[in-house]
Amino acid sequence: DADVTQTPRNRITKTGKRIMLECSQTKGHDRMYWYRQDPGLGLRLIYYSFDVKDINKGEISDGYSVSRQAQAKFSLSLESAIPNQTALYFCATGTGAGYEQFFGPGTRLTVL
Amino acid sequence: SQQGEEDPQALSIQEGENATMNCSYKTSINNLQWYRQNSGRGLVHLILIRSNEREKHSGRLRVTLDTSKKSSSLLITASRAADTASYFCATVRNDYKLSFGAGTTVTVRA
């Protein structure tokens, strides 16, 4: 969905490096989410934000941090990447509690 | 933790046939949603069914919800090659967060 963009789309990095994944949206939604997808496990919620001053931990926040720089931008950082953080990462936006979410195209991250 | 579990894990059908997949969950929900994911791409919302609804339709999609059995089904009628994708159910509880299952991979053969 072009309304939610993620950069980079692919990234290969080494253990111990700091990585930032960025998400931008033009949908005007207040709510933004970061998920990780591993084969056979579906999507798991890492962090979410309901507005610029609101940050909440999700199911698997350890090893990750986020920054909500503006309503339209939500970044995910891996402070010191490790191989088991190799996964597909998705950003999503939403209009309200429990309503449908709109996903970006994903970032494929490989940690060697 | 994953609330929903899809069944089967994988499904292969001939073009024109119907595809049915199921989702079971463990605790009470506010609503249940189905999403489609084409290979390596972002998820696309298909349909949302609220806990007080039993059936919803959207084009060739039919979703049912049985809260007594804590299960939902997604039926795709008259399948097409473009329906080849993974399908995920996502349950929404009173915390209003989506909890995804592991998905059903559907392959439609020409």
CA distance A16 to B25: 38
Among B1, B33, B41, the residue with its CB nearest the CB of A100 is B33
Task: Give the residue from chain B lying closest to A60, CA to CA.
Answer: B1
CA B93 → CA A86, B3, B4, B47, distances in Å? 29, 9, 11, 17
CA distance A90 to A21: 10
Among B45, B48, B100, the residue with its CB nearest the CB of A43 is B100
CA distance A111 to A13: 5
Chain-chain contact of B40 with A88 (C-beta, under 8 angstroms): yes
Chain-chain contact of B42 with A58 (C-beta, under 8 angstroms): no
Q: How far is B42 from chain A (nearest CA, A)?
A: 4
- Selected residue with higher pLDDT from A99 and A1: A99
pLDDT in tens, A75-106: 999 999 999 999 999 999 998 777 899 999 99
- Selected residue with higher pLDDT from B57 and B93: B57
| Average of per-residue pLDDT across A37-66 | 93
Question: Among A95, A89, A21, A7, which Cα is nearest to A51's?
Answer: A95
Which residues of A make CB contacts under 8 Å with B?
Answer: 1, 4, 35, 40-45, 48, 58-59, 88, 90, 92, 97-106, 108
CA distance A22 to A42: 21
**Which among A37, A43, A54, A101 is the top mutation candidate for probing chain B, defined by the most B β-carbons within 10 Å of its own β-carbon?**
A43
In SS3 terms, B60-83 reads as CEEEEEECCCCEEEEEECCCCHHH
- Over pLDDT 70: what percentage of chain B? 97
Q: Given this model, what pLDDT does residue B2 score?
A: 56
Chain-chain contact of A104 with B45 (C-beta, under 8 angstroms): no
Task: Count each helix (H run) and each strand (E run) in chain A, helices first.
Answer: 0, 11
Would you call B38 an interface residue with chain A, using a CB distance cutoff of 8 Å?
Answer: no
Query: Is the pLDDT at B66 greater than 60, yes or no?
Result: yes
B57 alpha-carbon distance from chain centroid: 13
